[in-house]
Amino acid sequence: MSDAWYAPKPPLSGRDYWFAVLRKQPSAILLGMQVFAIVLLPWLEGQLWGRLVFVVISFFAVTVAAFVTRTTRALTWLALLIGVPAVVLEAWSVLEPEHQVIGVIAHLGLSIFYLYVAFGLVTYVFSDNWVTSDELFAVGAAFTVLLFGFAYLYLAMQFAWPGSFTGHSEGDRRSFLELLFFSAANLTSVGLSDVGAVRPHARAATIIEQLTGVMYVAMVISRLVALTVAKARR
């Protein structure tokens, strides 16, 4: 690729500027969209239109995430092949929340997609011997993508095995925000959550997420420290 792809000549404005930002730092945009979705979720989750808006945000996240993976060893076409149908099925599950099969397939599809994108981001960070600003954003983006990936996995599980998770709210299904909160508690290893995994499959998935969070932090920190030390010795 030419240098212009990574460092377009200034000055840029309007559409050209934002397209250049997307080309140079797609991980930053993905991270921002994930955090923005978390901030909006408390207002969106309780209404049908709000859940549909969240699906639209997920669609844009799918698009940006696929763009991110184009610079990694992950396959862009495979990311889109998984992500786009999963978003469509997710919209279907919002319109028909009691349809168990659609719910399981939609949530599991989004979980696979997000975990695949996380794999692409991690390989992106580990692909060379220097750290760019976009790779630093990719570290945070990969963490939030893992967060959403396991939350959707938990959603699929509670559709397949109702009562997999307990909480203060009534019913045998936890909301997406509750499961996202539970996922964050596991991935960060803080353990502060009023949601608990009680059925075998849910507990097994929880253990895997806890191990993933610990290993991710250890791998990324050791990688960044090693690169910083190596740069300082030059």
Take residue 23 and report the two structure tokens written for it. Answer: 């080309």
Structure confidence by residue, pLDDT tens digits, 179-193: 999 999 999 988 788
- Give the per-residue pLDDT at 22: 64
Given a cut of 90, whether residue 75 has pLDDT beyond it is no
| Whole-number Å distance between alpha carbons of 166 and 194 | 8
Domain count, the chain: 1
> What average pLDDT does the chain have?
82
Q: Is 71 helix (H, G, I), strand (E, B) or coil?
A: coil
Q: Which residues of 151-187 are buried (b: 16+ CB within 10 A; e: fewer)?
A: bbbbbbbbbeeeebbebeeeeebbbbebbbbbbbbbb
Given a cut of 80, whether residue 11 has pLDDT beyond it is no
Instruction: Categorize the per-residue pLDDT at 69 as very low, low, confident or very high, splitting at 50, 70 and 90.
Output: low
Q: What is the mean pLDDT of residues 153-178?
A: 91
Q: Are 34 and 148 in contact (CB under 8 A)?
A: yes
Q: What is the mean pLDDT of residues 27-49?
A: 86
Structure confidence by residue, pLDDT tens digits, 206-223: 999 999 999 998 888 788
Query: What DSSP assignment string belongs to 125-194?
Result: HTSSSS--HHHHHHHHHHHHHHHHHHHHHHHHHHHHSTTSEE-SSSSS---HHHHHHHHHHHHTT----S
Given a cut of 80, whether residue 90 has pLDDT beyond it is yes
Q: Are 205 and 157 in contact (CB under 8 A)?
A: yes
Residue, of 201 and 233, whose pLDDT is higher: 201
Take residue 147 and report the two structure tokens written for it. Answer: 């967060």
Structure confidence by residue, pLDDT tens digits, 130-144: 777 777 888 888 899
- Give the per-residue pLDDT at 152: 94
- Give the per-residue pLDDT at 16: 65
Instruction: Give the range among 5-9, 23-27, 32-36, 155-159 with minimum mean pLDDT.
Output: 5-9
Query: What letter would DSSP give residue 11?
Result: P
Q: Which domain holds residue 29?
A: 3-233
Residue, of 189 and 59, whose pLDDT is higher: 189
Given a cut of 70, whether residue 229 has pLDDT beyond it is no
- Give the per-residue pLDDT at 105: 94
pTM, two decimal places: 0.85
- Give the per-residue pLDDT at 9: 54
Given a cut of 70, whether residue 12 has pLDDT beyond it is no
Q: Return the axis-axis angle of helices 100-125 and 76-95, rounded to nearest 10°.
A: 150
| Whole-number Å distance between alpha carbons of 189 and 174 | 20
Q: Which residues of 33-55 are buried (b: 16+ CB within 10 A; e: fewer)?
A: bbeebbeebeebeeeeebbeebb
- Give the per-residue pLDDT at 168: 84
